[in-house]
Amino acid sequence: MDREKCTRYADELQRFVMDHTGDVLKQPRSFIRYPFIDPGSVYDGNVWDWDTYWSVYGFLNLADRYEDGETKARLIEHAKGNIHNFMDHQLEDGYIPMMIEVADWPEPYLNMKHKEGVLMNMHKPFLCSQIVLISDYINDYAWCEKYFDNLEKYFECYDRNYYFEHCGLYVWCDDIMIGMDNDPATFGRPKFSTANIYLNSFMCVELEAMEKICSVFGKEERAKHYREKREKLVAAIQKECWDPRDRFFYSADIDVKTRKFDWFHEGLGVFWNSLPIKVRVWSGFIPMYAKIATEEQAAEMVKHIFDEATFNSDYGLTTLAKDEKMFDLSVTNNPSNWLGPIWLIANYVVFRGLMNYGYRKEAELMYERTVNLLGTDLEKTGSLHEYYDPFTGEPIMNGGFINWNILALNMRDELDGKAPMAQWKGIRE
């Protein structure tokens, strides 16, 4: 793709996003008591966990470019509102729902089920990350200090319900609302069986964010606690999820234990903590984003990213390796399909991982492919979509989706020398 066209598409994308910012800045409704940001398209009116994080990640990168003084202030207000809304619905045991919907019942559905004793997944590990993202941007943490004890409870809830000591990894309760709805490493599998590489890699980032929050508030012992938790988790990921033969990070099946049915099992036992779930999913690259891969591992992962037989696409990265038997671009009644289509969040996370390990040339290629995809969509349809065909670049579903599509502009700015929005300054940078 020539540089002139790339620049033109990026400029058009920026204009489109800035012109439609107001479409996703929503006012309180139902039991959502604070302003918030939604992804756009069919997701109107609900507050989502990781979606709000990436929206804020993209919008704050653009905030200083709005000509009016109002939009930047609104973006900050709504970004804070995301956090206020989730904290508003935290339960006594620390549980926070993954989404807050607009409805007629008295409180979020997930909270009602939790109170009934039905354990489901909780807010994905993007809460502290979003707090740090906002606070670093405005250079002020005072607004969130009142939530410190709530954040401690949030991690306690994770550790009590979703952490398995024998393998040192966090585990999805089930496949409901995991972000990648039909990720074959988790989808359809037994409850509490999958230590997903997605969950554990982003949890490393979340623990780092909490370490930063503790340090800001002068709680150095608690900062040390979360730093050590992160280090322990990184070691577990390296032990249980890295496959030295395939040179890839896999999710792990932790539902392995000795089951004695009869005398034939006497003297036999399971002496390993997990089994690799050998499905090559884009989430295997998140350790590069989280900076928990070694330099040697990153070099091997780059080969996978640009392998024509697996993940490589002219439009970025397929979300499932093309040679996996589950690879499927079709749409069902749940339109969220991660079995191969191009999702811009995957493109950005991989881009950021490439930049983290010094693969600038490869990162530039990922950016060019991404901005070409979105620029072409704008030219043809006048809109952006949730995900795309990796062979043709044609949109598959959900026109009007904004959210992490904005991150193409983060790519451009980072290549131009701007620091990534999430650096957790003062910790490891």
Report the alpha-carbon distance of residue 396 to residue 385 in Å, rounded. Answer: 7
Q: Give the model confidence (pLDDT) of 176-225 as tens digits.
A: 899 999 999 999 999 999 999 999 999 999 999 999 999 999 999 999 99
Residue 199 CA to residue 42 CA, distance in Å, equals 25
Average pLDDT over residues 95-119: 94
Provide the percentage of residues in the chain whose pLDDT is more than 90: 87
- As a whole number, the mean pLDDT across the chain is 94
Which pLDDT tens digit goes with each residue over 247-299?
999 999 998 865 655 666 665 567 788 899 999 999 999 999 999 999 999 99
Helix (H, G, I), strand (E, B) or coil at 318: coil
Residue range 28-45: average pLDDT? 92
pLDDT at position 425 is: 47
pLDDT at 427: 42
Radius of gyration of the chain (CA): 21
* pLDDT band at 428; cut points 50, 70, 90: very low
Q: Where are the domains of the chain?
A: 305-424
Whole-angstrom CA distances from 353 to 269, 284, 314, 373 are 39, 11, 19, 20
| Structure confidence at residue 429 (pLDDT) | 45
What own/partner pairs with CB < 8 Å and gap ≥ 24 does 288-292 have?
A: 288/350, 288/352, 288/353, 288/354, 288/356, 288/357, 289/201, 289/205, 289/349, 289/350, 289/352, 289/353, 289/356, 290/201, 290/202, 290/204, 290/205, 291/356, 291/428, 292/201, 292/204, 292/234, 292/237, 292/238
The whole model's pTM is what?
0.96
- Read off the pLDDT of residues 357-395 as tens digits, 9 standing for 90 and up: 999 999 999 999 999 999 999 999 999 999 999 999 999
The answer on pLDDT for 104 being more than 80 is yes
